[in-house]
Amino acid sequence: MYPLACFTKQQLQEKEKELKGSWKAIHVALKDSGVGWNDSLAMVIAEPEKWKKLINDNGKMARFQKKPFPLYEDCTSLYAGSVATGDLNFTSIESTLTAPLVPIVAPFKKMQTSKTMEALNEKKKQDEAFSIDKCLDEVDAMELLDVEKAML
């Protein structure tokens, strides 16, 4: 489509990060009451007082007060439900910065693994308690009633 366009990997990653950040800012803003989306203009719509709050909450929103974001729907199909949030999120170009989190994450993962193993062991005990062999042993150990003996 653009045979003369030449971008480095870093340029593409930075642009994608910028798009994702813009989409996320708008996506979060649209969750607020009194904020809407105009499909034909590809713009966020809100009352002036609401805009002040949106810009105060997230400075990125200032540029979208008068500027459209025509890629919102496309970005939604890419990012909705798959964008990490919180302290442990990072992009592929930020992964080297997360080393200080290892002391925090490692004990948590160990605890989660331990809980999972305990649950699996409990399930195994329950499966053994109600196994077919165990049930057959119980049936074999039962004595026949007088009525059942008479039938034999």
pTM more than 0.75: no
Q: pLDDT digit string (tens) for 84-126?
A: 555 555 555 554 444 555 666 677 788 888 888 998 888 888 8
Report which residue type is found at 12.
L
pLDDT at site 93: 52
> Residue 48's pLDDT is what?
93
User: Sign of torsion, CA 125 126 131 135?
Assistant: positive
**9 pLDDT higher than 60:** yes
Only one residue has tokens 């649209």, namely 30
Instruction: Tell me the DSSP string of 41-104.
Output: TTEEEE-HHHHHHHHHH-GGGGGGTTS--TTHHHHHHHHTTT---STT---TTTGGGGGGGHHH
pLDDT of residue 97: 47
pLDDT for 99 equals 53
Q: Which amino acid is at 71?
A: L
Say if residue 77's pLDDT is above 60.
yes
Quick: pLDDT tens for 79-89: 887 655 555 55
Residues 25-74 have pLDDT tens digits of 999 999 999 999 999 999 999 999 999 999 999 999 999 999 999 999 99
Q: Where are the domains of the chain?
A: 9-83, 98-152
